[in-house]
Every structure is written in structure tokens, then in C-alpha cells.
Amino acid sequence: MSHLILVRHGISEYNKKGLWTGWIDVELAPEGYDEAKRAGTTIKDFTFNKAYVANLKRCTETLKEILNVLGQEDLETDVTPALRERNYGDLAGKNKWKIKEEHGDEQFMKWRRGWDEPIPNGESLKDVYDRLVPYYQEHIAPDLEAGKTILVSASGNSLRAMVKYLEKIPDDEISKLEIGTGEVLVYELNDDGSVKSKEVRSTNPKKGKV
């Protein structure tokens, strides 16, 4: 038996302003540090063997706050671009609500939550999935198969891609999945890597609104 705990980073300065962030390397807002600490308090019942984190400040800062809460500051950690947020290309840095006004609800939702909707000079969620899953299979899955307890700190869309893989969510259903800043997903996995149970901790009532 193994456990995989997924944490979305705390709210960032761009999140607060309603800006698409993608690969822009912004820091957590003060409230984001609070969300990270709160996330840490919900998983104090776990002792982790290893952490994986996206190479973006908002993700590494979140992980640092969590590990401080847990008293596991020296935890072995892999920092990787494979877990990066979706590249929003030409939309990065732009206000998502203004984009919604300019392009309409339908196109806005395709860009924001669609599966294989291309963004000019950016990635679709499918692109994120295609770079993330091989990394998961090569690095994270073997740790889980060895019975380890693993912590992942990443962004909304990289976690949506991982959850899609873990829960075998159909392409046409993935748009319904929202993961708020600071939210924690706790998975108990069977020996073959399939999901035995799932629990959501540190839920964010504002998810999908920032």
C-alpha cells in the first residue's frame, strides 16, 4: 500500500489579479503562504519518503511551507519541469476575465478547461498530459510501487493531467475537474498503482473563481 498526496500551490500574485500565469515564474501572495501552511496541517498524519515539485517559485515556495509545518525540511525532493503548469503562450500575463469578454464564454472555456484546445504558442491540457505521464511512469510510479508515501506540489493543470491519468477520466469529462489553490488530494493506491481511495483535504471554496 502507498499514498500519493497532491497539493496545488497557494494563491499567487497573478492568481489574485485574475491573470493567466503559465510559465511566468511569479511568487506566492501572502495569502498563498497561509494556504500552503493550512495544507500542511491537513497532512500531518503522514511521514513522507520523497517529494516532487514543479520548477516554479509558487510550487517550490508552497512545498517549503508544507515541509516546515511537517518538520520534514530535509525531505528528498526532485524539482522538475515535467510538473510545470500549462504554457499559456499568447494568453500568459493577460486578464482571463477580459479574454472571456473579448472571445465569449465558449472559446474562453475551451482555452481554460478544454482537453485538446490549442493556445497560440502554448500548450493544450493534452500536451501537459503527454509530457507529465511519462515522467510519472518513470519516476513517481516506481516509488509508489515500492510502498513509499509521496508528496507532489504543482499547479492546477499539471495536477488535472495527473488526476486524469490516475482516475482514468474521459477526455470529454476533464473540463469538469477544478482544483483550487492550496487544495490537497490524498490517494491510497493499490500495489498495481490503481486508486484504492481518494480524499480531498484543505478544500478551497473559491476554486474556479480566480
List 3, 9, 61, 183, catalytic entry: 9
CA atoms within 13 A on the CB side of 138: 8
Phi and psi dihedrals of 134, rounded to 5? -60, -35
User: In the chain, count of helices (H) and strands (E)?
Assistant: 8, 6
Helices in the chain by DSSP H: which ranges?
Answer: 13-17, 30-41, 57-70, 96-103, 105-113, 125-135, 141-145, 156-167
Q: For the chain, give the longest Cα–Cα distance.
A: 50
Provide the residue count of the chain: 210
85 belongs to the catalytic site: yes
List 35, 85, 123, 183, catalytic entry: 85
Residue 91, all three cell numbers: 494568453
103 belongs to the catalytic site: no
Distance of alpha carbon 205 from its chain centroid, rounded? Answer: 17
Active-site residue set:
9, 85
